[in-house]
Amino acid sequence: MKNNSHILGMYNYSGSPVVNMTGRLGNSVDETVIHEYTHGMITHRTTYGLMCHMLSGLSKIDSKHFELLNILIANNNKLQEAFATFVEYSLIYLRDGELKFWREVKELKESNVEYYRYLNNLLFLFRKDEDILKIVEFGTRLCFFAMSPDLLRIPVKSINTNKNRKDFFRDHKNIRQYLAVTRFNKILHLARKEIKSGAPLNSETLLRINKDSGLNEAYFDEDYLESLKYYLKDLYKNSKDRKKAQINKMIDSMEMKSIEEYDASVVVPSSFQIYDQVVVNFDKLLNKSYSMNGTLFVLMDLADTEGFKSRGIHLIEAQYKRELEKCNGATFGVMYMDLIDKKTYVAMLTEAELSNIMAQSKSPIVVTMDFYTKNILNKLPAKELIWKNIFIYSDNSYKKLESNLKEIINRSAKARIVEYPHMYLLIVKQSNTFTYIQPIISTFINDLIKVFKEGKYNVTLADNPDGETMTDPYILKELSDIEEYDFIINCLYNT
């Protein structure tokens, strides 16, 4: 979602919903979390959304159906944004009441016309004194119906080439039946008539709308999912053999996500501010690490195929080998985020160069969770790193926290939670060498404190007993320790 020109959050069909934690100018993060999560929720729980999600991933392996993906997404944006903004503002109604809701709607109309227009598609549901929960349920079911066409009725041969796709979607009946935006417009027209006539927001009214629309609907369950997998394999059956195995593996991994598996805690905190990047050699990067003007950030090993897959980067085998050959042994991606220059210096290093720079760096050293869990650090000379404090950084969602902590904690550990605007930094320390850090969106902070107080994950809070003193005996021993974490976060978030 955008607030004027500032992007508050983002969702694309292949990744997790993301919330921008920088430059929010007082905007509440809770509403943005709900907005971006709603995009993902309707994507993973409807036929149209899941088709977009799968084509988005598959197009990274074989782009032959990228045009089909573009058609589906372009004709879904209005519905996606209308539904997400509807749910976001319904949260305001639930939390703050009807008067505050209408004040916020008025402010949206004056400050962000684009998103007001999206919301306005469903504002007719907010009748005076109507139960807000009924409004939310009714609006949600309208949107789910619009995004639940029976796509398996489309013959594969009708969409397997660009020419066939164009011919298929020139037919008005196909546009009306299968594209989300036209289905949405038809459903909204019928729903407005029902509401205008005083019809209640209930199942009977929805059934009339569904019947009068003449639109087909797929009941999305495990059986339908299996049929969709066969359909996609048929769609990609002419892909080259070197790609087909990877395509089929991705299709087979497709699964339905329950409400418990896909809730708002899947949203990832991030920064949309990006320093200019400068590609440098080892010597330049080493000199930068001496400067103490920034943070040394070890990303990943290009030779680690699983690491690439975990980030949704799908390199086919031949392409992968070509990338490795270009590296000439320098497979480790390393960055230096310079807070003074406001630039990120990037280099590909050999294992020996990586060991060298980590041993000599005078700047804080941060490594990704993937890098740490692959035990690559065990190859580094321990005697040179024993005095170092290596920060293990997770840029994942709150949902991922439990599995991360289980991977890194093998005995009791201490934790501190440091507050920043709209978010918190979780710091978990188990040894003098490694410290785990993860930004946590403020929406989930009470849940986090609760699980630690309950003794989960073998972690206890190290807060000073008086509840006021910033320092503690374990993690933030001196005020300079707090400043170091501030410095690292400013570097990682490019602020």
Summarised one tens digit per residue, pLDDT across range 232-251 is 999 999 988 878 888 999 99
124 within domain boundaries:
yes
* pLDDT of the residue at 1: 58
Into how many domains does the chain fold?
2
Give the strand pairing for 365-368 and 294-301: parallel
Q: Any idea which of 94-103, 164-173, 251-260, 353-362 has the lowest mean pLDDT?
A: 251-260
Summarised one tens digit per residue, pLDDT across range 248-271 is 999 998 887 766 667 888 888 888
Range of the domain at 387: 274-492
If asked whether residues 238 and 300 sit together in one domain, one would say no
Whether residue 384 is predicted with pLDDT greater than 60 in this model: the reply is no
Residue 397 tokens, joined: 């969602």
Identify the band that residue 311 occupies on the pLDDT scale cut at 50, 70 and 90.
very low
Q: Any idea which of 77-86, 158-167, 441-450, 467-476 has the lowest mean pLDDT?
A: 467-476
- Residue range 480-490: mean pLDDT, rounded: 89
447 within domain boundaries:
yes
269 within domain boundaries:
no
If asked whether residues 317 and 178 sit together in one domain, one would say no
If asked whether residues 387 and 250 sit together in one domain, one would say no
201 within domain boundaries:
yes
If asked whether residues 380 and 238 sit together in one domain, one would say no
* Residue ranges of E strands in 241-364: 268-270, 276-279, 294-301, 332-338, 343-349
If asked whether residues 244 and 280 sit together in one domain, one would say no
If asked whether residues 216 and 341 sit together in one domain, one would say no
129 within domain boundaries:
yes
Dist. CA 158–CA 168, nearest whole Å: 6
Whether residue 313 is predicted with pLDDT greater than 50 in this model: the reply is no
Q: What percent of the chain has pLDDT over 90?
A: 48
Of 468, 403, 463, the residue nearest 438 (C-alpha): 403
Question: What are the beta bridge partners of residue 415?
Answer: 428, 461
Cβ neighbours of 210 (radius 10 Å): 17
If asked whether residues 204 and 301 sit together in one domain, one would say no
Dist. CA 9–CA 109, nearest whole Å: 19
Last-in-domain residue among 264, 287, 315: 264
Residue pointed to by tokens 């969409």: 159
Residues 35, 83: contact at Cβ < 8 Å?
A: no
Alpha helix locations (H) across 214-259? 222-235, 241-252
CA separation, residue 453 to residues 213, 414, 420, 427, 464 (Å): 53, 12, 21, 15, 14
10 within domain boundaries:
yes
If asked whether residues 201 and 320 sit together in one domain, one would say no
pLDDT: which is higher, 301 or 93: 93
If asked whether residues 350 and 225 sit together in one domain, one would say no
Summarised one tens digit per residue, pLDDT across range 181-201 is 999 999 999 999 999 999 999
Summarised one tens digit per residue, pLDDT across range 108-144 is 999 999 999 999 999 999 998 899 999 999 999 999 9
Last-in-domain residue among 264, 298, 332: 264
If asked whether residues 225 and 353 sit together in one domain, one would say no
452 within domain boundaries:
yes
345 within domain boundaries:
yes
If asked whether residues 185 and 305 sit together in one domain, one would say no
Dist. CA 72–CA 74, nearest whole Å: 6
Residues 301, 435: contact at Cβ < 8 Å?
A: no
| pTM of the complete model | 0.85
If asked whether residues 376 and 481 sit together in one domain, one would say yes
Whether residue 395 is predicted with pLDDT greater than 60 in this model: the reply is yes
Whether residue 478 is predicted with pLDDT greater than 50 in this model: the reply is yes
Residue-averaged pLDDT of the chain: 86
Residue pointed to by tokens 């760096």: 361
* pLDDT of the residue at 5: 47
Q: Any idea which of 14-23, 77-86, 153-162 has the lowest mean pLDDT?
A: 14-23
Of 253, 236, 322, the residue nearest 62 (C-alpha): 236
Whether residue 307 is predicted with pLDDT greater than 60 in this model: the reply is no
Summarised one tens digit per residue, pLDDT across range 2-56 is 564 467 888 888 778 888 887 655 557 888 889 999 999 999 999 999 999 999 9
Last-in-domain residue among 243, 264, 285: 264
* pLDDT of the residue at 463: 76
